[in-house]
Structure 1
Amino acid sequence: MSNRSEQLFTEAQRHLVGGVNSAVRAFRSVGGTPVFMRRGEGAWIEDVDGKQYVDYVLSYGPLAIGHAHPEVVRAICDTAASGTSFGAPTELETELAVLVRELMPGIERIRMVNSGTEACMSAVRLARGYTGRDRVLKFRGNYHGHVDALLVEAGSGVLTLGIPGSPGVPASVTETTLTAPFNDIDGVRQLFAEYGDSIAAVLVEPVAGNMNCIPALPAFLEGLREICDDSGALLVFDEVMSGFRAALGGAQAWYGVRPDLTCLGKVIGGGLPVGALGGRAEVMDMLAPTGPVYQAGTLSGNPLAMASGLATLRNLARPDVHANAEAWTGRLLTGLRERADRAGIPLRTHQAGTMFGLFFTDSDRVIGFEDVANCDAERFVRFFHGMLEAGVYLAPSAFEAGFVSTAHDEAALSHTLDAAERVFADL
């Protein structure tokens, strides 16, 4: 481990809670000291001691065209030169909204916000306001940000750190939250049989990215659409991770299932903090100022984030760009499985466009929270540290998805697979 990272982490712990500003970064589930990074370019990042790594975290998803892409950097710098925030409308907000609408089939109207968490929080309020109902149904292992009512059987850092919920969340807040197993449509039907008239929304990650990467079964999403249509509940897709990754039009385009509301983030900021809530015009127009459901944010539609998101999505939407990155992701996973097989290591993988998941298990069925929890966590820890030492940066948790960018090339692939072959042999 880098001496400089150890020194910086020691100093950080004197001033920052746990030495980090987001819990998973602390390496608690894998042990050791977090690596402090100082720069990134394309598919590579560099730590404070100058060691380089192929990056499969990509800031947990938003860097879909790689680090410091020249078009993104130029867009941010040019925009900043004219001002960083106005608290007033700018043309950039409309331009990004138009582009997102063109790519996402389920979005007719959009509200820009500042994070995925804020998008999900706003979606719940809007669904309740539109339907006049209180209950929300979510799924075990799905993570929708640190919204009080949604920190029930959640994924991401909650799952990584083994926290069952969170102190500070009153029982009265979560008593209107129902949970069901992911990919279990019969469990959903049972809940609707009992609570259907009071359920405002079904909130789901169509590709779960916070209990590692688990795509929904097509019949599961189709079933949710049917149940919501029959009951009057709204179907809300949390595409903060899967948006523009599962497919250019998100998981809703990949599956051909159109939600009523869509939560976005990550990619539409191109590395800067941003989120968005979009959906059917009839529902979205319930938001203030056209409707009675209040939502606002001083920095919503921040021009720097809008410019960065526009540059990212315009690049990603060029012919064959997304398709080539998807194909590269498939080659990566094939290569990893082949090398694991040769070493006698049971490894299963999932892919959703440029998202992927690695599971150390001999089970042929990894479709939900319990399946992920039964994977070999100890082997993942050893694999993580072996790859880190070999110059490959994966998320420091067995419960986080991996990501590929359009900047990942043959050099990155060879480096990764060569490292994996050595690490699998050690395992």
Structure 2
Amino acid sequence: MNRNRSAALYEASREVLPGGVNSPVRAFGSVGMPPIFAARAKGSRIVDADGNEYLDYISSWGPMILGHASSIVHQGVEEVFDAGISYGLPTGKELDLARLIRELYPAAEMIRMVNSGTEATMSAIRLARGFTGRDKILKFEGCYHGHYDGLLVKSGSGTLTFNTPTSKGLPKAMIQDTLVAQYNGVHELKDVFANMGDQIAAVILEPVAGNMGVVAPTKEFLQELERLTKENGALLIFDEVITGFRLGLEGAAGLFGMKPDLVCFGKIIGGGLPVGAYGGRREIMEHVSPLGGVYQAGTLSGNPLAMHLGWNLLNHLKADPGIYDRMEDMAKLLEAGLIDAATKAGVEITVNRIGGMLSPFMTVGPVTTFSQVMTSDTQQYEVFFKAMLEEGILLPPSQYEGWFLSASHSREDVQRTIQAAQIAFQQVKEMAK
């Protein structure tokens, strides 16, 4: 495929944008090639700046549940533009969407709209500290909660002894109260609470990890997490930026039968626009300013355009919840096809899937922890990615990101993807010789 226009745009972008992009994964560095620049998209297809068309499994990292440029999500958007997109005043659209979120996700008894998933998680953590009067936060290795300073941390040689920042520019004071444990590590979780349970304000968790590939929690891990937070007076925060309204109308919480104290949402609730929200138990949320003493504000929080698109999407999902079953059926078909294609080619893979999200790891399974994720062969994934791209299939440009199906992905799309995978896995096998 000719990608000369994308290459030219990339070179020009490097003059004014760090690395030529506005978010690191877009640089395609993990797959050793220049990025593809998008021009337009519709349904399950995306077209690049050179006119090449691809079947898309990035789906803007999850929010395009109905596919790109959905007429359902975009309905009435012209009227919103004509009426004005920002007032600095509250609107009825904020109320409508908040009520709908609370109806679908009962744990969110009160909701505060913000502008991104990162803003939601950082605000929820501040609220947890303000509510409990404690400072320490527990997160899990491999879970990403945005680029908030206090959460860009990985565990050191001992989780309880020191942490290692995953970015420069983080003052020690910002990360000294962040504890890090192993995702799905039940014994380690117990040890953390045994040592510091009375100091922990909150535990923040991706209930299904989506930023080290797709990794689901074990039942025992969730049960212990729920028990230990309650017994120790710590709040349980679900980061459902990826999973909220993608895995079902009640997100991962509904799927696993849990009720977090606080929950964070992201761009899904804005139909793909920049938006976020945090919510939870009324007694906790009443500590948010102007009602309480935990300050948080934003000029564009609850902007009418995002509220309108979000309401269109969530209201449609409410009216047709069978969409989730249809997406899962397509994902199951794709999962089986990938495993079959890899097996026939003699390539070792493990496919993790939950709902319409999946990840093939280039390693022998199971893959349930961050350390197991890191055994994946990234060179094999690079070969696989490039081979799929040449067959017209656009995958996440990193082994450590999830694939997202949408309601617009058809059985024919999936079959075409499987056929491409048969070719791609053969190339992986040839590389490994």
Normalised by the shorter chain, which TM-score bucket? over 0.9
Q: Report the counterpart of residue 280 of structure 1 in structure 2.
A: 281
Map residues 350-389 of structure 1 onto 2, 5 A cutoff.
Answer: 350-363=352-365, 365-389=366-390
Is the aligned partner of 1:109 residue 2:110? yes
> Structure 1 residues 145, 26: closer, same or farther in 2, change over 3 A?
same
Shift of 1:105: 3.2
Contact 1:66 1:407 in 2 (8 A): yes
Contact 1:119 1:277 in 2 (8 A): yes
Map residues 194-343 of structure 1 onto 2, 5 A cutoff.
Answer: 194-317=195-318, 318-343=320-345
* Partners of 1:104 and 1:390 in 2: CA distance: 40
Contact 2:149 2:175 in 1 (8 A): yes
Shift of 1:331: 1.1
> Structure 2: any 5+ residue segments left out of the alignment?
156-163, 429-433
* Partners of 2:77 and 2:272 in 1: CA distance: 11
Amino acid at match of 1:315: H
Q: Report the counterpart of residue 98 of structure 1 in structure 2.
A: 99
Q: How many residues in Structure 1 have an aligned counterpart in Structure 2?
A: 418
After superposition, what is the alpha-carbon deviation per residue over 1:393-426, rounded to whole angstroms, capped at 9, x for unaligned?
1111111111011111123112211111111122
Q: Report the counterpart of residue 173 of structure 2 in structure 1.
A: 172
Shift of 1:164: 5.5
Q: Report the counterpart of residue 9 of structure 2 in structure 1.
A: 8
Q: Report the counterpart of residue 346 of structure 2 in structure 1.
A: 344
* Partners of 1:377 and 1:333 in 2: CA distance: 19
* Partners of 2:260 and 2:316 in 1: CA distance: 26
Shift of 1:376: 1.1
* Partners of 1:277 and 1:193 in 2: CA distance: 29
Amino acid at match of 1:293: V
After superposition, what is the alpha-carbon deviation per residue over 1:93-142, rounded to whole angstroms, capped at 9, x for unaligned?
11111111121132111101000000000011000000000000000011
Which has the larger displacement, 389-398 or 120-129?
389-398
Provide the secondary structure at the position in 2 that maps to 1:65: coil
Contact 2:63 2:246 in 1 (8 A): no
After TM superposition, the runs of 4+ consecutive aligned structure 1 residues lying more than 6 A away are: none
Shift of 1:77: 2.3
Q: Report the counterpart of residue 78 of structure 1 in structure 2.
A: 79
Q: Report the counterpart of residue 129 of structure 1 in structure 2.
A: 130
* Partners of 1:311 and 1:337 in 2: CA distance: 36
Q: Report the counterpart of residue 39 of structure 2 in structure 1.
A: 38
Shift of 1:326: 1.5
Contact 1:66 1:405 in 2 (8 A): yes
After superposition, what is the alpha-carbon deviation per residue over 1:163-192, rounded to whole angstroms, capped at 9, x for unaligned?
961111101110000000000121111111
Q: Report the counterpart of residue 159 of structure 1 in structure 2.
A: none
Q: Report the counterpart of residue 68 of structure 1 in structure 2.
A: 69
After superposition, what is the alpha-carbon deviation per residue over 1:46-97, rounded to whole angstroms, capped at 9, x for unaligned?
0111111111101111111110001222232221121111111111111111
Contact 1:65 1:316 in 2 (8 A): no
Identity of aligned residues (%): 47
Q: Report the counterpart of residue 160 of structure 2 in structure 1.
A: none
Contact 1:245 1:352 in 2 (8 A): no
After superposition, what is the alpha-carbon deviation per residue over 1:250-298, rounded to whole angstroms, capped at 9, x for unaligned?
0000000111000101211111000000111111111011111111110
Shift of 1:361: 1.1
Amino acid at match of 1:21: N
Contact 2:383 2:427 in 1 (8 A): no
Amino acid at match of 2:87: F
> Structure 1: any 5+ residue segments left out of the alignment?
155-162
Provide the secondary structure at the position in 1 that maps to 2:98: helix
* Partners of 1:290 and 1:328 in 2: CA distance: 46
Shift of 1:329: 1.1
After superposition, what is the alpha-carbon deviation per residue over 1:212-265, rounded to whole angstroms, capped at 9, x for unaligned?
110111221111110011000000000100111222210000000111000101
Contact 1:105 1:253 in 2 (8 A): no
Contact 2:41 2:47 in 1 (8 A): yes
Q: Report the counterpart of residue 150 of structure 2 in structure 1.
A: 149
Q: Report the counterpart of residue 157 of structure 1 in structure 2.
A: none
What is the root-mean-square deviation in Å for CA atoms of aligned residues? 1.3
Contact 1:239 1:263 in 2 (8 A): yes
Amino acid at match of 1:421: Q
* Partners of 2:275 and 2:239 in 1: CA distance: 14
Contact 1:222 1:257 in 2 (8 A): no
Map residues 175-194 of structure 1 onto 2, 5 A cutoff.
Answer: 175-194=176-195
* Partners of 1:77 and 1:346 in 2: CA distance: 50
Provide the secondary structure at the position in 2 that maps to 1:416: helix
Contact 2:208 2:217 in 1 (8 A): yes
Contact 1:12 1:19 in 2 (8 A): yes
Provide the secondary structure at the position in 1 that maps to 2:134: coil
